[in-house]
Amino acid sequence: MTHLTVFHEDDPELPELATGDPVVLVGHLAMSGILFERWSATRPVADGADSDAILDAYAPDVARLCASRGYRSVDVARVPPGAANAAALRAMFLDEHTHGEDEARFFAAGSGAFYLHLDHRVFRIICEAGDLLSIPGGTRHWFDMGPNPDFTAIRFFTHPDGWRADPTGSGIAARFPAYDGSTVHPG
């Protein structure tokens, strides 16, 4: 289940808000400039479908988002269960960083947790299949795919060179609860 937890940046032990209510989640994120949407495929997507089939199944939403946000390219990224390089991939995204452009991801399958560092708060958004999250460029954040990652995501880019992270040098990410890979949360 999609879930939002909000912590004060100085207290990773006591959440200020924990909710799976979609109205509260969307509203809370929108107040911080974060776009969150739920998408449905226009046709069934088979397990193991190739990138073209995934993009085709979500083509109307992909086209709408590209037109409204100025994204110039998209691709499909996968981390399958049992990936040999899973630990190294997970580690690449666990430190707080920013990007010069939006980080927009749509989860076609699986799950992952984005942590956004906003106004002395840390927002943890656990995204699952059907969730789109768009984080404005310059937002401090990190991503945790869990210890046994399994997800397929459509990625959106404004710049042709794609994803590039600028580390903040902060150690904040290590102080917050890691994502365990579960999409079931109280609240």
pLDDT score for 186: 45
The low-confidence residues of the chain, meaning pLDDT below 70, are 160-162, 183-187
pLDDT score for 181: 84
- Asked whether 161 and 142 are in contact (CB, 8 A), the reply is no
Right CATH for 3-7+16-170 from 3.30.2130.10, 3.40.50.970, 3.40.50.300, 2.60.120.10: 2.60.120.10
Q: Which of 144, 62, 64 has its CA nearest to residue 110? A: 144
Rounded to 5°, angle at Cα 108 from 153 and 16? 80
pLDDT score for 187: 39
Residue with tokens 């945790």: 144
The pLDDT tens digits for 92-111 are 999 999 999 999 999 999 99
**Cα–Cα dist 147/171, whole Å:** 20
